[in-house]
Chains A and B, each alone.
Chain A
Amino acid sequence: SQTIHQWPATLVQPVGSPLSLECTVEGTSNPNLYWYRQAAGRGLQLLFYSVGIGQISSEVPQNLSASRPQDRQFILSSKKLLLSDSGFYLCAWTAGKSSTDTQYFGPGTRLTVL
């Protein structure tokens, strides 16, 4: 069966520090991968998606970037964190390439920027 991991689970970082969040999927090949951010107001915002290694699409221009160095690994990064980067970051995957595939989410990373 497929599983998705995210780490760290919780992170507290000072403003201006770098960020690296990791997401890995097991039990599937060539998934589509997604990064979401959920702010305090509960809304889910799609940040990036990837349909393959090295292929990243950004939905919202901002202080963050994403990379996919391996088939089942998706990394969210920042060179300098802002206070507004605080939130709950969720990684998701779909098995296929159809636009109607079900997204399955990871456990999330709670980021607090002070």
Chain B
Amino acid sequence: AQKVTQAQTEISVVEKEDVTLDCVYETRDTTYYLFWYKQPPSGELVFLIRRNSFDEQNEISGRYSWNFQKSTSSFNFTITASQVVDSAVYFCALSEPYSGYSTLTFGKGTMLLVSP
């Protein structure tokens, strides 16, 4: 069975600090996809990134970067120079490739609080 673990329940940082959100996954599949979503206080889940299991290149998008390491089954998310607007709950998710519809196994989320 698939599993996603986000061991950090809550993280508090001061603005401009860098912060890394950890995500560890378990799957028996060799082909899979990993996702990160952001849930601000308004509640909507905002898609951030989708990465397939064959692409281990790190991804950078502005202040956001993702480090995918198959050897440790991790897909960590780093925010550089954090801002108050980054305060949200962040979810890591894993997709199951063999069903006929999208299935996501979500972690329990990490709440990030960035204070000014």
State the A residues within 8 Å of B (CB): 32, 34, 41-44, 46, 49, 51, 57, 88, 90, 92, 94, 97-108, 110
Choose among B43, B50, B52, B91 the residue with the greatest number of A CB atoms under 10 Å from its CB.
Answer: B43
B51 vs chain A, min Cβ distance (A): 11
Chain B residues 98 to 112 lying within 8 A of chain A, measured CB to CB, are 98-104, 106, 108-109, 111
Set of chain B residues within 8 Å of A43, measured between Cβ atoms? 106, 108-109
State whether A94 and B102 are in contact (beta carbons under 8 Å apart), knowing that A43-B108, A99-B95, A102-B50 are contacts in the complex.
yes
Whole-angstrom distance between the alpha carbons of A97 and B103 in the complex?
A: 11
Closest-by-CB residue of B relative to A6 is B44
Q: Quick one: CB contact mask for B1-38 with A, threshold 8 Å, 1 for yes?
A: 00000000000000000000000000000001101010
Contact B100 A44 (CB under 8 A): no
Whole-angstrom distance between the alpha carbons of A102 and B32 in the complex?
A: 12
Contact B96 A99 (CB under 8 A): yes
Q: Is B71 an interface residue (CB 8 A)?
A: no
Whole-angstrom distance between the alpha carbons of A91 and B20 in the complex?
A: 29
Inter-chain pairs besides A51-B101, A105-B44, A106-B44, 18 sampled, C-beta below 8 Å: A41-B108, A42-B89, A42-B108, A42-B111, A43-B106, A46-B103, A49-B101, A88-B43, A90-B43, A90-B44, A90-B45, A97-B101, A99-B96, A100-B33, A100-B95, A103-B35, A107-B44, A108-B43
